[in-house]
Amino acid sequence: MAGIQALIFIPEASRSVRVELYFPTDTLGEDVPPRGVITLLHGFSGSGDDWVQLSAAGRYAYDKGYILICPSCDNSFYNDMVYGPPWYAILTEYLPRQLNRIFHIPQDRELNYLAGLSMGGYGALRIGLLNPRRYAGIGAFSGALDIKTLCGIYAGSPAARSLFAGIFGDGLSIPDDADLLKLVKTAAENPEVRGLPLFLTCGKQDNSEHRVYDQNQAFLRAAEGLSLNLTYREWDGAHQWSFYDQSFAEFVAFIDEAG
């Protein structure tokens, strides 16, 4: 395996983005292309390094021949921030273009997968529902899927309110396409979304102050009857790396079988 930590300059955003890349070079024969590319999104207060340092993501991808891309995107919830960088555009347009130019990372839909934990699960689902032509599968592990509930939980904290104001503006006006409970209903009208494999996991005990289990149940209720290609799995676990690690292993097996 070849591991690279890169600072990728994004001209459109006038900033550099730190990215961890792992290539399964020694599992592939000469002139054998990788099986695919998995972009992994980190959680709140985390970074792309977390997937490398705190899980066995590299080994799971290595065993199956997938390239891993782990960008660091601040506490952005992967939105174009009102007071901050355009993280949605960076992830969907600018960064993939630069990675293809520098490292020849393929951009073909059938080779690209997107997944994330907690905040990254929200980001992966939102990006996938809005861009079904870009990805062959989406994973959300312990996803923070109800952004309005989160804003409500933190409404009494000036620091947290300031953070969400940086994303959505001072009035915390959340657009419909950033509210997954609304977005999933409108996105499901698109046949390409209905065919997009969605893989969700959540721990049964992941229901502390952030009520992540409840958030996942709310998303499932919103998605009920929409004819989506959605797989949901839950087992004993909390908001912790042992759960994310197992979830990613199951996601790799899921997309490997589907492919």
Q: Which CATH number does the domain housing residue 129 bear?
A: 3.40.50.1820
Q: Are strands 66-71 and 15-23 parallel, antiparallel or unpaired?
A: antiparallel
pLDDT of residue 172: 85
pLDDT of residue 258: 76
In one-letter notation, the amino acid at residue 180 is L
By the 10 Å C-beta count (0-12 exposed, 13-18 middle, 19+ buried), 45 is classed as exposed
Q: Which domain holds residue 146?
A: 2-258
Cα(65)–Cα(28) distance, integer angstroms? 7
Q: What percent of the chain has pLDDT over 70?
A: 97
What is the arithmetic mean of pLDDT over 30-46?
88
Who contacts 2 (Cβ-Cβ below 8 Å, separation ≥6)? 22, 23, 25
pLDDT tens for each residue of 148-204: 888 877 767 777 778 888 999 988 889 999 999 999 999 999 999 999 999 999 999
Q: How confident is the model at residue 259 (pLDDT cuts 50, 70, 90)?
A: low
Number of folded domains in the chain?
A: 1
pTM value is 0.95
Selection from 99, 103, 102, 101 nearest residue 91 by Cα? 99
Who contacts 240 (Cβ-Cβ below 8 Å, separation ≥6)? 203
pLDDT tens for each residue of 64-118: 999 999 999 999 999 999 999 999 999 999 999 999 999 999 999 999 999 999 9
